[in-house]
Structure 1
Amino acid sequence: MPRLDRERVSVVFRRDFGEFVRWRSYRLVMVLTAVAAVVVISGFVAFLRSDTGRIDGTDGDSILPAATGVVVFLLAMLPPTVCLPLFATDTLTREKNSGVMEALLATPLTPAEIRQGKSMAVFLPALPAALLGPLLAVAAVNVFVSLPVNDEPLVPAPLLLTVLVLVPLFFLALTNLTIELSMVSSPELAVSPSYLIGFAMLAGVPLGAITEVFDPTSWGFLGGALVVTAAMWALVWLGARWLTTDRVVLSR
């Protein structure tokens, strides 16, 4: 990738980030995300403590980590999956149609610096919710289920590393790729991969865990997530090679 000037990247980031967090839609999404997290965590804990979902015994002990993994993954992936198309589409469409993008390119800013600043501005508003939800879910399962029943904490290290490190890195790469595509094509079309990939993961991880295709709390799953994340960053690197001023201007 081209070398990036941090000062110039921060100019783009501060401008877009300040605008995004003032949006009423952003505040609404964060409130709905918080409510959804509380409902999901409370319902999951209540189910585990009920007669139907009781985890006493060997079978229950083996089910608890996998079930927790599914819930934690959903809580980690939902905020960025919703926020990425929300922030990336309207702003870039407006800036390309109004000539703001060309004005930015007339400054010392490079296309790569614009992409990086905008990507961080789109990604960071959803990050606190994406990290806090999984942590609260693991804490609730330990306090109300695992410790009272099994007398030992449930701390699946591979799961925590995946949702707290690899999932954010994956969605940061997906955000970069979406911004790259938006800058050289139609933002409405460029956001389509983020919809498809995000919702495919939201559906695929629970389905794979339920059918026992993989265990989201295993080291093997962590390795697979690492490979997928690296592949996504490779796509970002390839896209950066095509992100030139001429292509951005001509895409308007």
Structure 2
Amino acid sequence: MWKLKVAEGHGPWLFSTNNFLGRQIWEFDPDLGTPEERAQVEKARTDYQKNRFQAKPSGDILKQMQLIKENQADLSLPNIRFERIEGITSEMVTSALRKAVRFTSAVQAQDGHWPAEMSGPLFYLPPLTMLLYTSGTMNVVLSAEHKKEIMRYIYNHQNEDGGWGFHIEDHSTMFGTANNYVALRLLGENVDGPNGNALSKAQNWILNHGGLTMIPSWGKMGLSLIGLYDWSGCNPIPPELFLLPSCLPIHPVSHTETV
């Protein structure tokens, strides 16, 4: 089971000038948790996967479960439903505020900050896997459990049409679909595996929307780095364009974010 570690260093990869205050990392411990807790984690994962098209953010459920346990928080106050303004009493408002304050305190980390995941963008993990692949450090930096969770995250945010967007709430785009499809393949997935149907849908989405030639400039450069796209097909980007205001459509960053 994964454990959230707060204000702690980990191996040779992390450095800090403030003793790691405000920083959180996840570490896998195969012996962590009781059978009941492991079952609770698996149920949370299953429930999320079933409802992933209706509620796309994860809600940081695993993080909240751990922090509530560590803080020994009592969240047994009854829920308050406000159906009509006319029926609201001062006691109801007081109870609702007390419950909100108690929950907020329950998910505060030991060093005083509130941990949170930045799990909305879908363009962080693919470049990471590409860089690890090109540097030959994929199996050095990522354990088997890390790979498993990265793939779980990518599959959980695949749209119903087989593609991926720029972020978890976005419609499918070539940038998101191609990069996440390639990331899965670099992590060892193939169409003959248990997730072959999902990969086939992603592949068909790419082919049906014009192929990799339709990916934005930064996508082409990333794919060229790993040998999947010829450098001659990359759009030239004069460095002087970065001096322009980013609101202009010809600015390299604006171009990447809007396609």
Give the TM interval when normalised to the shorter protein: under 0.3
Q: TM-score, normalised by structure 1?
A: 0.25
Name the structure with the higher helix share. 1
Q: Higher relative CO (CA 8 A, sep ≥ 6), structure 1 or 2?
A: 1
Q: TM-score, normalised by structure 2?
A: 0.25
Determine which structure has more spread, i.e. the larger CA radius of gyration: 2
